[in-house]
Amino acid sequence: GDSVTQMEGPVTLSEEAFLTINCTYTATGYPSLFWYVQYPGEGLQLLLKATKADDKGSNKGFEATYRKETTSFHLEKGSVQVSDSAVYFCALTEMKTSYDKVIFGPGTSLSVIP
Amino acid sequence: NAGVMQNPRHLVRRRGQEARLRCSPVKGHSHVYWYRQLPEEGLKFMVYLQKENIIDESGMPKERFSAEFPKEGPSILRIQQVVRGDSAAYFCASADSSGNTIYFGEGSWLTVV
């Protein structure tokens, strides 16, 4: 089946540093790709998404580009803040015949220190 | 707030008791998913339901776990005779018939003591 691989964490950065969290996927079809964020003790929030090749999703200073040739969807932010500390999940929709199923990566924990 | 509503948000059960988690999908959505997040792990698909039907339960443990999505009312994830290993966050998600966007609830945290 389809799957998602993320760089292992935890990742610790200083405030205002550049962030990259790598994400690659395997899929038989043509999935949509997502980044979700989970702040400590909270639920999942959709951060951004892209539905076709070369699409760039962006939100709150985060960006990710759907790269079909490298099957990647790396998350980037130019200058992180302490409030960005959270767990980030890369995900895709595995398309079944009549419905989509979201497949998640294992998550990458990010800690931003002042 | 017309989003996916889950309750209870936090539930404590003793070993051997039953846990019932409820999920009210976005109004008008007829597709519901349940995911489980074990401590320090990612989210794993459990089951996908449409109104009154289980479509895909490939991620459900074979015993003690069941799910339903009746014609009226919320979807229910039921765990019988809970064990410590059932302690996790359980997330519900819903989608409309197009399935283009799947919305997640804020989760229910089950602790088994």
Report pLDDT digits (tens) over B3-62: 899 999 999 999 999 999 999 999 989 899 999 998 878 899 999 999 889 999 999 999
What residues in A contact B93, CB-CB < 8 Å? 102
Interchain contact, A99 vs B93, CB within 8 Å: no
pLDDT at B92 over 90: yes
At B1 the pLDDT is 46
pLDDT at A105 over 60: yes
Distance from CA of A85 to the nearest CA of B (A): 15
**Better-predicted residue by pLDDT, A86 or A8:** A86
Q: Are B92 and B3 in contact (CB under 8 A)?
A: no
Average pLDDT over residues A82-86: 96
pLDDT at A103 over 60: yes
Cα angle value A66/A67/A72 (rounded, 5°): 90
* One-letter identity of residue A68: K
Mutation target vs A (from B102, B103, B106; most A CBs, 10 A cutoff): B102
Distance from CA of A101 to the nearest CA of B (A): 8
Interchain contact, B41 vs A107, CB within 8 Å: yes
Size of interface A-B (CB pairs under 8 A): 46
pLDDT at A96 over 80: no
A7 and B CB contact within 8 Å: no
pLDDT bucket at A43, cuts 50 / 70 / 90: confident
Interchain contact, B106 vs A93, CB within 8 Å: no
Give the range among A41-45, A51-55, B8-12 with minimum mean pLDDT.
A41-45
